[in-house]
Copies of this chain bind each other. A is one copy, B any other.
Amino acid sequence: MPRVSHILLLALGVCTAALWFVPAPGDLTAEAWHLFLIFALTIGSVIVGALPILVASILALAATVLTGTLAPEVAYSGFSEGFILLIVAAFLVAQGVVKSGLGRRISLLIIRRFGRSTLGLGYSMLVTDLLIAPAFPSNTARSGVLYPIVAALARDSGSRPDAETRGRVGRYLMMNSMAGLSISSALWFTAMAANPVGARVASGMGITIDFGGWLFASIVPCLTAAVVLPLALYRLIPPTVKKTPEAPAAAARALKEMGAMSRHEWITAAVFVGMVVLWALSSTLGLDKTAVAFAGLGVLMVAGVFSVQDMKGQGDALSTLIWFAVLYTLSAQLDEMGFMTFVGEAMAQPMEGLPWQLVYVLLTVAYVVIHYLFVSQTAQMLALFGVFLKVGIDAGVPGGLMAMQLLFATNYNSAITPQGSSANILFASSGYLKSSEMYRVGGLATAINTLIFLVVGTGWMMLTGASG
């Protein structure tokens, strides 16, 4: 008997096939319309659980090229995007960090200090993220710092990416850090590349946003979210191992057994610290972050910490490259073809004439929900922030308030889909999370974020005039 998901997939397929021959709405080209249908079918088939994200992406790639919707060189272009290759390199470096034993040592140190409960581990990782974030304008690079530690934490808590043990600790910790990045990126002006770019767009409409002003506006909603989110995820995707009162003592014993740091650990530590420093300074020094990651990987391989033999087992890195490159390209091309602006305008249009408070809420919610279509936070900000901000201001929303809320939303909507941010990908590909779980829990986490920022954030900004 066919599974429900397959029936849903069939229904989606039939709808897509029927809509294929409907004329494109508005001024859209047939290519833009077809690309949207392929993209929607791809995401839809993953959401209903009918196809793994990798398989759906491979079929989407073949379909876009064979139907002539995208030229081959355009369809394949995502594979050479620097920030996507950064994810691949960071993925492999993370394996080296784990394999060298350094990941284990760091995780044991964290467990010794915070390991009484899985929730404690979750909070300790989020605090780490919040503290290092201002130095990392690339949240993708930051995910490359956090991921190996979370992976080692999960492993050393007896949770592996397999059916039996992934639920113990790892699934929760991965989701927690992935969703946590949505908060750490919203907290600091310099914690995400899109933030200063958005500020520049806003300044064109007479709204001034700087490091201090941003932090003053963000700190209350962000800290609220940082308190609430790990707890909420704790209920939504509960770790089956919750209390581990004996873990700190066991970690202390294990650390004693590990003894002094090995040669491989020292090398890995030097490489990892070097990468982190260069990533943090990359804008100042004009260094390419991806090349820094490849340099680190190359040194780990020359030193034998991570070998050509170890590469054999890293097919997941290839899977990640394939599905993310494909989805990113489809989304970027949808934007390029004017589809995103079309949808954004269609959503914003009906709001004319409504009271500004309602417009403010509707625009924010629409901006968050539309992120289902985007495979890059920066791309959405560039495509829609200006349009939405203008509609809000025209409807009477205070400009500073509207701008800050939309820029925060650019960050706090990132976990709505696994591909919603390049900073998600390492966690999404960890093996601890299923696609359908990420859609469900990520969607709920985003709803919680939206609620907090709309209620607490708006209240705080209006009370203090924090949004200028």
- Residues in chain B near residue A319, CB distance under 8 A: 308, 311-312
- Residues in chain B near residue A85, CB distance under 8 A: 76, 79
Interface set of A (CB-CB < 8 Å, partner B)? 51-52, 54-55, 58-59, 61-63, 65-66, 72-73, 75-82, 85, 88, 287-288, 290-292, 294-295, 297-298, 301-302, 308, 310-319, 321, 325
Q: Which residue of B is nearest A299, CB measured?
A: B59
Per the bound structure, the CA–CA distance linking A314 and B320 in Å amounts to 12
B298 near A62 with CB under 8 A, answer yes
B76 near A77 with CB under 8 A, answer no
A301 near B58 with CB under 8 A, answer yes
Per the bound structure, the CA–CA distance linking A321 and B318 in Å amounts to 9
Residue of A294, A295, A314 contacting most chain B CB atoms (<10 Å): A294
Given B76, B315, B317, which contacts A313 in the complex, CB threshold below 8 Å? B315
Per the bound structure, the CA–CA distance linking A297 and B75 in Å amounts to 17
Given B51, B287, B308, B311, which contacts A302 in the complex, CB threshold below 8 Å? B51
B311 near A313 with CB under 8 A, answer no
Q: Which residue of B is nearest A319, CB measured?
A: B311
B291 near A66 with CB under 8 A, answer yes
Given B55, B73, B288, B301, which contacts A66 in the complex, CB threshold below 8 Å? B288
16 A-B pairs (CB sep. < 8 Å): A58-B301, A59-B294, A61-B294, A62-B294, A65-B294, A66-B292, A72-B290, A76-B80, A76-B85, A76-B290, A79-B79, A79-B85, A80-B325, A311-B316, A311-B318, A315-B315
Per the bound structure, the CA–CA distance linking A325 and B325 in Å amounts to 16
Residue of A78, A287, A315 contacting most chain B CB atoms (<10 Å): A315
- Residues in chain B near residue A290, CB distance under 8 A: 65, 72, 76
Least Cβ–Cβ distance between A357 and chain B, in angstroms: 45
Q: Do A312 and B302 form a contact, CB below 8 Å, given A79-B79, A291-B65, A295-B59? A: no
A55 near B301 with CB under 8 A, answer yes
Least Cβ–Cβ distance between A188 and chain B, in angstroms: 25
B298 near A59 with CB under 8 A, answer yes
Starting from the known contacts A58-B297, A59-B295, 11 additional A-B residue pairs (CB-CB under 8 Å) come to: A61-B291, A62-B291, A62-B292, A63-B295, A65-B288, A72-B288, A72-B291, A73-B82, A76-B81, A78-B80, A315-B318
Per the bound structure, the CA–CA distance linking A448 and B315 in Å amounts to 38
A55 near B318 with CB under 8 A, answer no
A55 near B315 with CB under 8 A, answer no
Least Cβ–Cβ distance between A284 and chain B, in angstroms: 15
- Residues in chain B near residue A308, CB distance under 8 A: 52, 54-55, 319
Least Cβ–Cβ distance between A10 and chain B, in angstroms: 13
- Residues in chain B near residue A81, CB distance under 8 A: 76
- Residues in chain B near residue A317, CB distance under 8 A: 315, 318
A295 near B62 with CB under 8 A, answer yes
- Residues in chain B near residue A78, CB distance under 8 A: 80
Per the bound structure, the CA–CA distance linking A458 and B313 in Å amounts to 49
Per the bound structure, the CA–CA distance linking A311 and B287 in Å amounts to 33
Q: Do A312 and B301 form a contact, CB below 8 Å, given A65-B288, A79-B80? A: no
Residue of A76, A287, A302 contacting most chain B CB atoms (<10 Å): A76
Q: Which residue of B is nearest A278, CB measured?
A: B66
- Residues in chain B near residue A58, CB distance under 8 A: 294, 297-298, 301
Residue of A79, A85, A316 contacting most chain B CB atoms (<10 Å): A79
Least Cβ–Cβ distance between A98 and chain B, in angstroms: 15
Least Cβ–Cβ distance between A338 and chain B, in angstroms: 23
Residue of A76, A302, A311, A318 contacting most chain B CB atoms (<10 Å): A318
Q: Which residue of B is nearest A326, CB measured?
A: B294
Q: Which residue of B is nearest A308, CB measured?
A: B52
Per the bound structure, the CA–CA distance linking A66 and B288 in Å amounts to 7
Least Cβ–Cβ distance between A350 and chain B, in angstroms: 39
| 9 cross-chain pairs, A with B, having the tightest CB-CB distances, nearest first | A65-B291, A62-B295, A314-B315, A80-B80, A318-B318, A59-B298, A79-B80, A62-B294, A58-B298
Per the bound structure, the CA–CA distance linking A287 and B52 in Å amounts to 26
Least Cβ–Cβ distance between A190 and chain B, in angstroms: 21
